Structure formats: C-alpha cells, structure tokens
Structure 1
C-alpha cells in the first residue's frame, strides 16, 4: 500500500464561497430558459418578435413549440 500525501496548498472550496456563484448561475439559466421558452405572446416583456426570432432555432433545438 502507498500512503497518499495531500498538498496543503490545495483545499476544498467552502460552500459559503461557492453559493453566490451558484445562485448567479441559476438566475442566468432561468433567464435563458424564459427567453428561449416563453418570450412571445401574452408573456412577452419586449414588444415585437425580436427576441423570438433571435432564439428561434434554439427553441426548436430544445423542444419548445412556437408555431
């Protein structure tokens, strides 16, 4: 058997430091899902079809119906 020696410079990232980045990433993903999946019609934030046309192919790729 061999003994494993851990490098003291390598330490695990504490949850307290990781949590803000996790929340930030989650909010970005929710915004992305909203704009790809629901930004048209009655739930539209922006007038016109600009956002819909910009993410149109992504909608089909992810399986969201749009027509």
Structure 2
C-alpha cells in the first residue's frame, strides 16, 4: 500500500455570462428539434411534402408522438 493521498479537486466557478449564451443556443436547438420531430406535419408544416415526417418517423414513435 502507498501512503500517498490525493486531495479532492475543487470545483471551478463558471460565470453566468460565459454560460448563458450557450445555454440559450442549446435551448433553441432543442426546441427546434422537438418541433421537427413532434409537430412538423399537417397544418403546422413549414416544409411542403412529407420528407421531414418520413425522416424523423422512428424518432416520433420512440418519443411517443402520435403518427398514424
């Protein structure tokens, strides 16, 4: 056995000003992804045709969105 001990690492504080823009960006990307998976169909469709619907079809079922 060794007598060497390690001190626990201390957390480094992150300023909110550095994290906030990335958090807002990630939130917008997530909302856009949920829209395309869950609502891009029928009356709320932004893109003509069923291309987006067919592309995210399995994700709709995996996340529990009704489809058929």
TM-score of the superposition, structure 1-length normalised? 0.84
Look up the match of 2:3: none
| 1:5-42 residue CA offsets vs partner (Å, 9 max, x unmatched) | 977xx731100110000000000000000000000100
Alignment of 1:4-19 (within 5 A): 11-19=12-20
RMSD: 1.8
Look up the match of 1:37: 38
Q: Given the superposition, is the C-alpha separation of residues 52 and 14 from structure 1 closer, same or farther in structure 2, using an over 3 Å criterion? A: same
Q: Given the superposition, is the C-alpha separation of residues 42 and 14 from structure 1 closer, same or farther in structure 2, using an over 3 Å criterion? A: same
Structure 1 runs (4+) deviating above 4 angstroms are: 4-7
